[in-house]
């Protein structure tokens, strides 16, 4: 698991939402959760309960994103939308809306009925939902039937309306328009009440349910009162604001901004055909002091283009002074009318609150990450200075490690950390020149001597030229040295510095990484395993070790290929060097075709054939040559 995943897992919110698992930048899985922290962490816990598919998916996860919503229903519907948008390879169940039924009301009918529909059509009818499964939609319809007795049957009504009422009328769950017992005007009032309820305004229905519950309670019919109580709860659960999907089919962009330290974060949520498809956060650096409306204006003029046009409606979180001019510009970009809206209440305001909720979560992550970085760098440096008895925290730390194979091809690595952050551009390798055999002590002495000798010369030169020593290759002197090894390596490093004429604090690491060896001290220091200072030392030590091993491996490969080339007749030092420079490793040379070998500087087709044939001997030719030589050695009849 990489550091990005570890950090994101530690900072997951206790909120409902969706998560998008990624591999190589591609969304490979979309899921939803009541509690993102608990659900997402489960994937990364070692457990035999995971299926083979889940284990295979987890092995590929390199990153993940989350989108926060207000409830579980929204999370599930958003999950469906995201799956349709990204078509992740590990999602195989939710592919279309047939899993999510709608409620349909056809207002073109004289007495509209409420019915279940599996798909949303462009037929002029009103659709509400989708709802999570048939049970949920039936619960909605039962609640409607309890307080708003509109018809639910599918039969065609006769104009004269003289049929016999069904059982629904007898139980008070239908107004019986089939029998002509209700006028169209009166029936239309009930239908409008149903539409208000299904549109997310359940106040009228809740009032009626509460009234019936109160009446049943006064009549001491407590079982019936409990039924109404449960229906009230069901309405509150069912009528969550479905901001994740709106069946009106509107196209909207929801844009909100918030201050995060010195920057402004801008959240863009794209809703197409009523479906929330994506959520992205952008950073405007150094814009913390700017007016929110100005920030949104600047962002939109840079964000939208002919290739990325705005939706018909752009909902924003702050008042934009030049909103009319912006609308004109966006309309020209989209080649259609675009409206920029600052909502005060209603569904659009709820969408802005959702965007702001996601921004708040992103800001918490950034601040938490910043605190963690400060703890890993500034805090760790201060703790290290205190443990080592330094007057102040070191700015530049250099770590050294020796690597060799039974004394052959000894190399040393120098890694650099400035203000607690590794500076890869300043890493260096040293090939040991004066030491014969496996002698890490003498090798350390040579490396430290060479490093500070170069540093002092360059420092003097830059001072004479009026240049800043800190900007030189060697003249930026360290404040602290880490010597990967025990007391012997540390002693030789101190001796080298003394002989050169510098005095830089240094410490060594014993075989146990938490055991610090101090100069001229018999006792060692043991750091707590959770100490930021220890983690900083571990990072520096690991980098020094990795860098030394990597360089040593390259030298071994280079020496191996050079040894092979030296055995080829007719290939001199210049062509060997050209082949070494071109291919780097034996593996690369062995895998190269003839024409690729010929491309090496100064090699050409003739010498390429010599190299290729030597590295790829033909067993049949070798056997034939051997037999010819054997026959030639046998005595013939003329001998």
With a pLDDT cut of 90, the percent of the chain lying above it is: 20
Place of tokens 């607690």: 420
Confidence category of residue 64, pLDDT binned at 50, 70, 90: very high
What value does the mean pLDDT take over residues 346-375?
88
Cα gap 534→381, rounded to integer Å: 10
- Distance CA(558)–CA(550), nearest Å, equals 12
Buried residues in 604-627 as b, exposed as e (16+ CB within 10 A)? eeebbebbbeebeeeeeeeeeeee
Strands (E), 109-218: 114-117, 126-128
What six digits make up the tokens of 86?
């990204």
* Domain total in the chain: 5
* Residue 539 maps to a domain: yes
**408/535 same-domain check:** yes
Mark whether 256 and 140 lie in a shared domain: no
* For residues 21-50, average pLDDT: 85
Q: Would you say 50 and 32 are in contact if contact means Cβ atoms under 8 Å apart?
A: no
pLDDT of residue 406: 53
Sort strands 126-128 and 114-117 into parallel, antiparallel or unpaired: unpaired
Per-residue pLDDT at 630 exceeds 70: no
Mean pLDDT of the chain: 81
Q: CA-CA distance, 141 to 238, in Å (whole number)? A: 11
pLDDT at 622: 46
Report yes or no on 559 lying in a domain: no
Q: Is the dihedral of CA 305, 306, 307, 312 positive or negative?
A: positive
Q: Could you tell me which residues come within 8 angstroms of residue 370 by beta carbon, excluding any fewer than 6 positions away?
A: 261
Beta strands, E only, 101-160: 102-105, 114-117, 126-128
Q: Is the pLDDT of residue 620 over 80?
A: no
pLDDT above 50 (res 528): yes
What pLDDT does residue 36 have?
A: 92
Residue of higher predicted confidence among 580 and 518: 518
Residue 107: both structure tokens together: 């207002």
Whether omega for the bond prior to residue 441 falls within 30 degrees of 0, making it cis, is: no
Examine the domain organization and report whether 472 and 606 are in the same domain: no
In a domain, 388, yes or no: no
Nearest to 447 by CA among 484, 414, 486: 414
Q: Give mean pLDDT, residues 419-440.
A: 87
pLDDT value of position 1: 73
Return the higher-pLDDT residue of 97 and 596: 596
pLDDT digits (tens, 9 = 90+) for 247-259: 456 788 999 999 9
- Prediction pTM value: 0.52
pLDDT of residue 144: 76
Rounded to whole angstroms, the maximal C-alpha distance in the chain is 136
pLDDT for residue 80: 67
Question: Does residue 198 sit in the same domain as residue 269?
Answer: no
Q: Domain boundary at 204, 238, 272, which?
A: 238
Question: Mean pLDDT over residues 23-45, rounded?
Answer: 89
Average pLDDT over residues 134-145: 71
Pair 83, 181 in one domain: no
Q: Output the domain CATH number for residue 544.
A: 3.30.420.340
pLDDT digits (tens, 9 = 90+) for 91-139: 744 334 444 577 888 888 888 888 888 776 767 788 776 565 566 667 7
| Whether the predicted pLDDT of 624 surpasses 50 | no
Same domain, 460 and 353: no
- Between 194 and 243, residue with greater pLDDT: 194
Position 625 pLDDT exceeds 60:
no
In a domain, 272, yes or no: yes
Which one-letter DSSP state was computed for residue 469? G
- Do residues 82 and 134 share a domain? no
pLDDT given for residue 500 in this prediction: 93
What digits encode the pLDDT tens for the residues 529-576? 888 888 898 889 888 888 877 765 665 555 555 566 666 776 777 787
Tell me: do 353 and 424 sit in the same domain. no
In this prediction, residue 478 carries a pLDDT of: 94
Q: Give the tens place of pLDDT for each residue, 468-502.
A: 888 888 999 999 999 987 888 999 999 999 999 99
191 and 157, same domain (yes or no): yes
Q: Are residues 408 and 544 in the same domain?
A: yes
- Residue 30 maps to a domain: yes
d(CA 362, CA 260) in angstroms, rounded, equals: 9
Q: Output the pLDDT for position 584.
A: 65
Position 437 in a domain: yes
Mean pLDDT over residues 281-306, rounded? Answer: 84
Residue 633: pLDDT band (50, 70, 90) is very low
* Same domain? 339 vs 466: no
- pLDDT tens digits along 381-411: 999 999 888 999 999 999 998 887 655 567 8
**Helical segments of 260-379, H only:** 292-303, 323-334, 346-374
Last residue of a domain, one of 95, 121, 152: 95
351 in a domain, yes or no? Answer: yes
Q: How far apart are CA 243 and CA 71, in angstroms?
A: 10
Q: pLDDT above 70 covers what percent of the chain? A: 83
My answer on whether 260 and 138 are in the same domain is no
561: in domain: no
Last residue of a domain, one of 95, 124, 154: 95
pLDDT one-digit tens code per residue, 68-81: 988 776 777 787 67
Query: Where does the pLDDT of residue 639 fall: very low under 50, low under 70, confident under 90, or very high at 90 and above?
Result: very low
Q: Which domain holds residue 84?
A: 3-95
């Amino acid at each position: 698991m990489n550091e990005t995943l570890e950090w994101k897992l530690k900072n997951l919110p206790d909120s409902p939402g969706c998560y998008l698992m990624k591999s190589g930048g591609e969304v490979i899985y979309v899921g939803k959760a009541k509690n993102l922290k608990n659900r997402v962490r489960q994937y990364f816990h070692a457990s035999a309960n995971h299926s083979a598919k889940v284990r295979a998916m987890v092995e590929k996860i390199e990153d993940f994103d989350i989108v926060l919503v207000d409830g579980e229903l929204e999370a599930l519907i958003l999950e469906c939308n995201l799956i349709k948008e990204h078509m992740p390879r590990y999602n195989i169940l939710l592919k279309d809306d047939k899993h999510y039924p709608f409620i349909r009301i056809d207002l073109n009918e004289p007495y509209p009925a409420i019915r279940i529909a599996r798909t949303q059509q462009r037929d002029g009818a009103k659709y509400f939902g989708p709802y999570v499964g048939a049970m949920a939609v039936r619960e909605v319809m039962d609640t409607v039937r309890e307080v708003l007795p509109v018809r639910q049957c599918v039969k065609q009504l006769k104009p004269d309306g003289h049929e016999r009422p069904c059982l629904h009328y007898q139980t008070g769950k239908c107004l019986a328009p089939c029998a002509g017992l209700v006028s169209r005007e009166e029936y239309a009032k009930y239908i409008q009440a149903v539409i208000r309820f299904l549109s997310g305004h359940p106040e009228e229905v809740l009032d009626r349910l509460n009234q019936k519950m109160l009446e049943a309670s006064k009549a001491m019919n407590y079982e019936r009162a409990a039924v109404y109580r449960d229906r009230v709860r069901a309405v509150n659960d069912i009528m969550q604001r479905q901001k994740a999907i709106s069946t009106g089919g509107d196209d909207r962009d929801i844009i909100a901004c918030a201050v995060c330290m010195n920057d402004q974060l801008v959240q863009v949520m794209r809703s197409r055909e009523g479906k929330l498809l994506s959520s992205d956060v952008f950073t405007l650096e150094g814009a913390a002091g700017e007016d929110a409306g100005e920030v949104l204006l600047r962002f939109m003029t840079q964000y939208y283009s002919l290739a990325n046009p705005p939706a018909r409606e752009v909902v924003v979180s702050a008042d934009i002074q030049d909103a009319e001019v912006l609308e004109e510009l966006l309309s020209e970009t989209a080649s259609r009318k675009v409206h920029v809206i600052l909502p005060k209440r209603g569904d659009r305001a709820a969408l802005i609150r959702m965007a702001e909720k996601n921004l708040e979560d992103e800001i918490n992550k950034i601040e938490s990450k910043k605190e963690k970085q400060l703890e890993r760098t500034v805090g760790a440096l201060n703790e290290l200075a205190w443990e080592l008895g330094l007057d102040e925290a070191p700015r530049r730390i250099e770590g050294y490690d020796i690597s060799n194979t039974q004394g052959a091809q000894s190399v040393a690595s120098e890694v650099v950390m400035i203000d607690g952050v590794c500076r890869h551009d300043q890493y260096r390798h040293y090939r040991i020149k004066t030491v014969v055999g496996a002698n890490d002590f003498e090798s350390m002495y040579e490396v430290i001597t060479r490093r500070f000798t170069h540093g002092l010369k360059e420092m003097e030169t830059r001072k004479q030229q009026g240049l800043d020593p800190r900007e030189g290759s060697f003249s930026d002197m360290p404040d602290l040295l880490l010597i990967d090894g025990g007391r012997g390596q540390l002693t030789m490093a101190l001796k080298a510095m003394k002989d050169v004429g510098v005095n830089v604090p240094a410490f060594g690491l014993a075989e146990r990484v938490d055991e610090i060896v101090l100069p001229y001290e018999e006792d060692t220091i043991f750091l707590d395993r959770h100490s930021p200072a220890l983690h900083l030392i571990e990072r520096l030590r690991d980098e020094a070790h990795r860098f030394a091993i990597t360089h040593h491996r390259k030298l071994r490969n280079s020496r191996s290929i050079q040894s092979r080339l030296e055995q080829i007749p007719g290939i001199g030092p210049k062509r060997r060097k050209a082949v070494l420079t071109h291919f780097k490793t034996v593996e690369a040379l062995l895998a190269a075709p003839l024409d690729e070998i010929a491309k090496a500087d100064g090699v050409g087709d003739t010498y390429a054939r010599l190299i290729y044939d030597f590295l790829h001997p033909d067993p049949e030719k070798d056997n034939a040559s051997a037999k010819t030589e054997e026959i030639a050695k046998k005595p013939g009849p003329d001998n």
